[in-house]
Amino acid sequence: MPSKVEQFGLFINGKWSSPANAKRFETVNPATREPLASFVAGTPADVDRAISAAHAAFPAWRDTPAPKRGTLLLEAARILTERKSAVGRIVTQEMGKVISEGLGDVQESIDFIEYMAGEGRRLVGETVPSELRSKFCLTVRQPKGVVACITPWNFPTAIPNWKIAAALITGNTIVFKPASNTALCAAQVVKVYESAGIPPGVLNFVTGSGSVVGTALVEDPRIRTISFTGGVETGRDVYVRGAKGLKMVHLELGGKNPVIVMDDANLPLALDGVLFGAFGTSGQRCTATSRLILHEKVYSQFLGMLTDRLKKFTVGDPLDPKTGMGPVASADQERKILEYIAIGKKEAKLVCGGEKLKGGIYDRGYFLAPTIFETRHGSRISKEEIFGPVLSVIKVADYAEAVRVANDVEYGLSSSIYTRDVNRAFRAIEDLEAGITYVNAPTIGAEVHLPFGGVKNTGNGGREVGSAAIEEFTEVKTVFVDFSDKLQKAQIDSETAA
């Protein structure tokens, strides 16, 4: 039966079109299970056409002055600002995060596009003295060529824009493959750049599965850089495949982010932070607070405060501004999280939640109760990434134990400490093994003009957004200009250059 939802094609070389006899898939509202839009399940041939278009568009885009590329980005930011409420609503409908966060996702996109537009007038290199006379030494930044941006569903406009805006300002052309379950959000991103006047072939959009579209992209020799955000297993596979072609692979993967609440913390402040960090976006942020490491002196008191507040916490329609938490993003997510909850029930003490919600609107969507376990460090739920609204609470005797527990996981993305002791706060900044540390704030909410990324299995050492975005998408060229009109030999003539 033909579906009534809007049918999207692929966006290749400046045109939306559907290949003949294309297989299709639909995205679904996780709060209602209603279909939202239909997309092409791309094939290796589609990927090939997209890469060819990007390849052909590259020389002219590379040679467009960066400030002019910046003007296009500013226009994209302006258009997205105009569309903010409509796109924010689509984010909430397709991904399930509450509407304030859906709008926040779009605002994060706008902020970053504007920031990158300004980079068009910077893209700074280095200028350093030469060891010889009449000689300049400097560096310039050049684009990498055709880049692949492979993005997740949890920040379905922001993370695509983190990659696209940075790749564009630096002069690269792009093939963009979004997560399948938030393809409508991704299509909104593409439409913004289309409306801003992006030249044909500079940004291409291919929907479809990771195993087909993702693999074809990662293995094509014309792609020199891959920027991937997603799960650890897929990330490792992308890295290995990319390595064979000696590609640069940027990875942003999982987290098991701790909040440490010390005995001298402002407890009401910490309570707000832990709730937002653990249950914002239904816990489906790479930066979500999944571990609460509580000092024993405030353990019972704080746990009591947390459970009291959770009784008033509303789970429901994410479009209703009063809702605290929406559904999880998909049936697949619901299944995986429930599996972890079952593990938790065996190895830990359930404090609250721990179930799929039933009755009324809950029966139509993927609604889980916000869940808290008291557990010991070392249990599976305290160490493995769950990516859902599940918080593990771990009791510690002192700061040293808190840091030991915080660091003893395979990930290192975000981290936080609540304390009023300034020395301890700075000590924690040094001690916590993570790419991001917050003091007296939750583990979520990074701003886009600072680098984002993590240590250990969170990635392979790269950072994105902030100034790091420029590193991600450029090659550095070192330039020596000798205006002495004679052969000067570095290392050899330099001793006598005086």
Q: Which residue out of 101, 108, 119, 252 is catalytically annotated?
A: 252
The whole-angstrom separation of Cα 336 and Cα 180 is 18
Q: By CB under 6 A, what part of segment 48-87 binds ligand UN1?
A: none
Asked if 287 contacts 156 with a C-beta cutoff of 8 angstroms, the reply is: no
Part of the chain binding ligand UN1 (CB under 6 A), chosen from 61-69, 323-331, 417-425, 439-447:
439-447
Amino acid at 163: K
Tell me the Ramachandran region of residue 272: left when phi exceeds 0, alpha when psi lies from -120 to 50, beta otherwise: alpha
Q: Is residue 285 near ligand UN1 by the rule CB under 6 A?
A: yes
- CB closer to ligand UN1 out of 32 and 107: 107
User: Measured between alpha carbons, how far is residue 304 from residues 68, 217, 261, 271, 300 in Å?
Assistant: 56, 50, 14, 11, 6
Select 201 or 255, whichever has its Cβ closest to ligand UN1.
Answer: 255
Q: CA of 314: how far to CAs of 18, 99, 278, 327, 367, in Å?
A: 42, 14, 14, 11, 11
Please give the torsion angle defined by the CA atoms of residues 384, 385, 390 and 393, in that order, rounded to the nearest 10 degrees. 50
Q: In the set 154, 170, 173, 333, which binds ligand UN1 (CB under 6 A)?
A: 154
Tell me: does residue 97 bind ligand UN1 (CB under 6 A).
no
Q: Which is nearer to ligand UN1, 108 or 385 (CB)?
A: 108
What six digits make up the tokens of 142? 């050049």
DSSP single-letter state for residue 213: I
CB 324 within 8 A of CB 425: no
Minimum Å gap between C-beta 101 and ligand UN1 is 10
Does position 105 bind ligand UN1 by CB under 6 A?
no
Under the criterion CB under 6 A, does residue 385 sit at the interface with ligand UN1? no
> For ligand UN1, which is the closer residue by CB, 54 or 259?
259
Answer yes or no: are the C-beta atoms of 208 and 46 closer than 8 Å: yes
Number of residues that bind ligand UN1 (CB under 6 A): 9
Enter the tokens of residue 486: 């004679």
Rule CB under 6 A: choose which of 118, 200, 231, 445 binds ligand UN1: 445
Kindly state the smallest distance separating residue 329's Cβ from ligand UN1, in Å. Answer: 12
**Residue 224 touches ligand UN1, criterion: CB under 6 A:** no
Smallest gap from residue 452 Cβ to ligand UN1 (A): 7
- 202 vs 286, beta carbon nearer ligand UN1: 286
Residue 86 neighbours by CB under 8 Å, 6+ apart: none
Scanning 130-169, the segments in alpha helix (DSSP H) are 158-169
DSSP letter assigned to residue 363: G
Residue closer to ligand UN1 (CB basis): 61 or 155: 155
Q: Which of these segments, 51-59, 141-149, 388-396, 438-446, binds ligand UN1 (CB under 6 A)?
A: 438-446
Closest to ligand UN1 by CB, 91 vs 446, is 446
Shortest Cβ 83–ligand UN1 spacing (Å): 20
Q: Could you tell me if residue 169 is left (phi over 0), alpha (psi between -120 and 50 degrees) or otherwise beta?
A: alpha
Q: Does 329 bind ligand UN1 (CB under 6 A)?
A: no
Shortest distance in whole angstroms from residue 232 CB to ligand UN1: 13
To ligand UN1, the closest distance from the beta carbon of 115 in angstroms equals 13
Distance CA 63, CA 202 (A): 12
Q: Output the smallest distance, CB 155 to ligand UN1, in A.
A: 5
**Is 286 among the residues known to form the active site?**
yes
- In the complex, minimum distance from the CB of residue 411 to ligand UN1, in angstroms, rounded to a whole number: 12
446 binds ligand UN1 (CB under 6 A): yes
Contact 5, 37 (CB under 8 A): yes
Q: Is 231 in the site for ligand UN1 (CB under 6 A)?
A: no
Between 12 and 325, name the residue whose CB sits nearer to ligand UN1: 325
**Lookup: tokens for 353:** 């939640």
243 forms beta bridges with none
Residue 328 CB contacts under 8 Å (≥ 6 apart), including other chains: 30, 96, 282, 284, 334, 337, 366, 367, 368, 388, 389
Please tell me whether residue 134 adopts helix, strand or coil conformation: coil
* DSSP assignments along 58-126, one per residue: HHHHHHS-HHHHHHHHHHHHHHHHHTHHHHHHHHHHHH---HHHHHHHHHHHHHHHHHHHHHTT-----
Specify the stretch interacting with ligand UN1 by CB under 6 A; choose among 169-177, 196-204, 349-357, 442-450: 442-450
Applying CB under 6 A, does 287 fall inside the site for ligand UN1? yes
Q: Decide: is 108 part of the binding site for ligand UN1 (CB under 6 A).
A: yes
Catalytic option among 108, 149, 286, 334: 286
Q: Among all residues, which ones are annotated catalytic?
A: 252, 286
Please report, as ranges, the residues that interact with ligand UN1 according to CB under 6 A.
108, 154-155, 285-287, 444-446
